[in-house]
Structure 1
Amino acid sequence: MAGLIVTNNAWSNLSVAINTSVTTIAVTAGQGARYPVLGVGDYFWATLTDATNAIEIVKVTARAVDSFTVVRAQDNTTAKSFAIGDKFEIRPVAAMFADVRAEIASSVAPKLNTTDAVTTYFPLAGGTVTGPATFNAATKVPNLTTGDNSISAANTAFVTTALANSRDSILAQATTAYIGTYSGTSSTTATIALGPLSIVTGTGKAFAPGQSLRVYYSDTAYMEGLVSAYNINTGDLSLTVTNKVGIGTYSSWYISTYVPTGSSKGLISFMGSNA
């Protein structure tokens, strides 16, 4: 079925500069293979980032080796010019989660005619009914929370509510699992400072070289930088810290992806206090 396609750790650099109206993006040779193969009607969301951390979100509708066809200025961003070497990558953005929610809702939505009504109820323990039949017993339906016995008929409102609750539960589980790959914690003792940082976090994360991460202790004590390396099997994580807030040495960190300076698009971040 055509629709949203996602993958982990897809990033690249522009091989050709673009202005605000270009709809074809070319990346460094060989880097296009990191992205999904798109069929008819398939797409994915991608983020362009320049040297000042200004961003633009685009909708990618086709890929030919290292060249992408895009729709510019998506998800409440504006079209910008980008230079050779600027980043092009798949990030978790608001539009992606909205699409996931819509696809889940569509697949689980009730397929009921809301004008239908249950007008008869009868227990049948074997045998057959032939010819015209008239049932005079009162209709028995459960209320909106539980049925009154195992053979009660369910009215449209009851079934609609049950399916909606199931849909919301599936969505919550799917979202939690997705966000979990882009965030983590660490008990490594580290001092807030610029430059190289090595800590240990959970295994199986989607951290990738060049990705922006925030290593957070509190609102007044955290570091931000780019991933240098991550071992998916051991959880060893290396970053180059380019921005810091506060001072001190701590051993209880929250780690998350973030969009640098001036935008909340694609933000998955723990906020809290260890005090």
Structure 2
Amino acid sequence: MKLLRYGPAGAEKPGLLDTSGNVRDLSAVVPDIAGAALRPDVLKKLQELDVSSLPLVAGTPQQDLRLGPCVGDIGKFICIGLNYADHAEEAGMPIPPEPVIFNKWTSAICGPNDPIQIPRDSVKTDWEVELGVVIGAPGAYIDEANAMDHVAGFCVINDVSEREFQLERAGTWDKGKGCDTFGPTGPWLVTTDEVADMDNLEMWLEVDGDRMQSGNTSTLIYKIPHLISYCSRFMSLQSGDVISTGTPPGVGMGQNPPRYLSGGEVVTLGIAGLGEQRSSVLAAL
């Protein structure tokens, strides 16, 4: 299934994408694509629905029908840093001996086609296409062998980052990662049964039509089951939590000379089988 949320910001309704590319409303079935609705028993009931019997929503998704972030009320937006060897190299940083964990504030989350707002005083706003993992069954101290039993599905994430805030100011990375609009998420949550090989997904990102990032999840340093198990040592994972698993090379910081967003650009990105995002960039207020 491809689960989604549609409608005005802050008033999104739950839906799914049918095989014809139309949105079907799920409001009579689940209150939202969030929390307990992502647990395995509920997902099983959704998969058993007669999709043709669900109300058809007018409009074309990502054109005249706005899509919100594909998961609502995300409790934790967990990110993994330097998880592609070639990205660590372009950043001039060693491969970490264990996963690097940081956070994006949930106020950063926005829809896959919503504008990206350059924050005030920014000089180094950057892009990062990433594979997002959405937790279904909650748990703590999860065994790596059973980790995928806790996954509801996958999605596309742009881990927008302000590098000066992140790396050149005192303190942790978080202040450069969680600015408003720095977490476009979606367009849809693709359940695990529709992803044939999570370790071989092509991913890409373009700025104004220039291909900046081309990568594949095959080059992840720490694979998804390990990341789930590892994160669950330090916090319980709840239904609807999101783990963003790292970015391949080609970020603005790694260009020669570096290239950053300043406003007026259009950023497009996608992951094979998981959909695409297209965001206009707004200059700082």
Q: Same fold (TM over 0.5)?
A: no
Q: TM-score range by the shorter chain?
A: under 0.3
State the TM-score, normalized to the length of structure 2.
0.20
State the TM-score, normalized to the length of structure 1.
0.21
Greater RCO, CA 8 A, separation 6+? 2
Considering only CA atoms, is the larger Rg found in Structure 1 or Structure 2?
1
Q: Which has the higher helix share?
A: 2
